[in-house]
Amino acid sequence: MKKVKVYGPGCKRCETLAGMVEDAAARLGQEVEVEKVTDYAEIAMAGVVSTPGLSVDGKLVHAGGLPEQGDVDAWIGA
């Protein structure tokens, strides 16, 4: 199971990114545990300077804006 964290204040883009992760996991047959991190100190400690941010299994893979769905698929499917 992949552990995914979505970093952000809970805005619409953050919710959209969480949905993109869940959609990718369903299409690819992957199990994911999605955690939404809204604490600003924890977001900063993760190295996210622009939200939303995304980490997969402890590795920060994206920060700032929404990534392309193909990128999300690659991160979840890897």
Confidence of residue 72 (pLDDT cuts 50, 70, 90): very high
Does 78 have pLDDT greater than 90? Answer: no
* Higher pLDDT among residues 50 and 78, named by residue: 50
In the β-sheet with 2-7, what is the strand arrangement from edge to edge? 32-37, 2-7, 53-56, 59-63
- What distance in Å separates the CA atoms of residue 78 and residue 14, rounded to the nearest whole number? 22
- Which ranges of 1-78 would DSSP assign to H, the alpha helix? 12-28, 40-45, 69-77
What is the number of domains present in the chain?
1
Over residues 2-57, the pLDDT tens digits come to 999 999 998 999 999 999 999 999 999 999 999 999 999 999 999 999 999 999 99
- What distance in Å separates the CA atoms of residue 65 and residue 78, rounded to the nearest whole number? 22
The domain that contains 16 carries what CATH number?
3.40.30.10
Distances (CA, A) of 38 to 3, 50, 54, 69, 75: 16, 13, 12, 23, 22
Its domain, for residue 73, covers 2-77
